[in-house]
Amino acid sequence: MLITSLVLTVSGAIINVPGDAPDPQAGVDLAAPGDTVLLSVGIHHGPVDLRGKAITLRGDSAEHTLLLGTESSSVICLISGETNKTTISDLTIAGGGGTWSEGGIRRGGGLCLDHASPTISRCIIVGNQADVGPAIWMSHGQPLLADCWFHGNEGGGSGAITCHESSPRLLRCGFHGEGIGWWDGPVVSIRADCDAPGGACCLGEFCVQTTSLACLDAGGYWHEDAACGSGVCPQPCPSDVNHDRRVNLTDLLRVLEAWGLCSP
């Protein structure tokens, strides 16, 4: 008796820009849930509205794929309830001037997020302008940003990212002279989310003032409402070679094992 089993694998289509669509917005308009809009190496022009779609907008590589905005709009808008199934990755996002709001305030030069919680990874967000959130304005959302770099985004002194009633998570992101602030609170320079309590995070021999999510993501030990320098984190111990908080024969053996010239 012969039994044949048929397994169907359904995967999203790849819409190449400019091969299958002339520009990024046309690619997004063609895309169905699960599809990827792939931008080729080069310069592509925004603005782009993701229109609430659970799709991926991706470049060939952030260093070689530029999505360029205009002075009168955000480069990318996510204002239709996008979830973490909406992904933006591997792009340089530049040249945006923000979305005008009531009262004549420009928000979100690079990205404008309103009631949206996308996943944004491996992006370079540079050279955008707005009155608030020149890199990203986010309101009422929980977006995830991973491995992104922020530089040269100019605004009204609120930092590259401005949060309004939002709880973003930032993993391994870099800020070149820029920070994060929230609309209804004080400006901060390092936060994992905009409304969680701060504390001391012990990372090996170092202490960082941050929130619980950021500390756990980094593999540290977090102490709520504690301050670095208050003694909650162990003091540096240079002689503890294997970092077990003891100086003993094991540390000496490690030194002897590594005896000689260090690799260049």
Digit-coded pLDDT (tens) for 62-95: 999 999 999 999 999 999 999 999 999 999 999 9
CB 148 within 8 A of CB 124: yes
Residues 182 and 206 in one domain: no
Residue range 99-120, pLDDT digits in tens: 988 778 999 999 999 999 999 9
Q: What is the pLDDT of residue 160?
A: 87
CB 223 within 8 A of CB 202: yes
Residues 204 and 151 in one domain: no
The residue range of the domain holding 225 is: 196-252
Q: What total of structural domains would you count in the chain?
A: 2
Residues 211 and 191 in one domain: no
Residue 7 lies in a domain: no
Q: Residue 189: what residue type?
A: S
Q: What is the pLDDT of residue 185?
A: 47
Could you give the CA distance from residue 167 to residue 186 in angstroms, rounded to a whole number? 15
Residues 200 and 190 in one domain: no
Residue 183 lies in a domain: yes
Residues 145 and 204 in one domain: no
Residues 108 and 235 in one domain: no
Residue 260 lies in a domain: no
Residue range 170-205, pLDDT digits in tens: 888 888 766 676 565 443 334 444 445 567 788 766
Residues 216 and 96 in one domain: no
Could you give the CA distance from residue 189 to residue 187 in angstroms, rounded to a whole number? 7
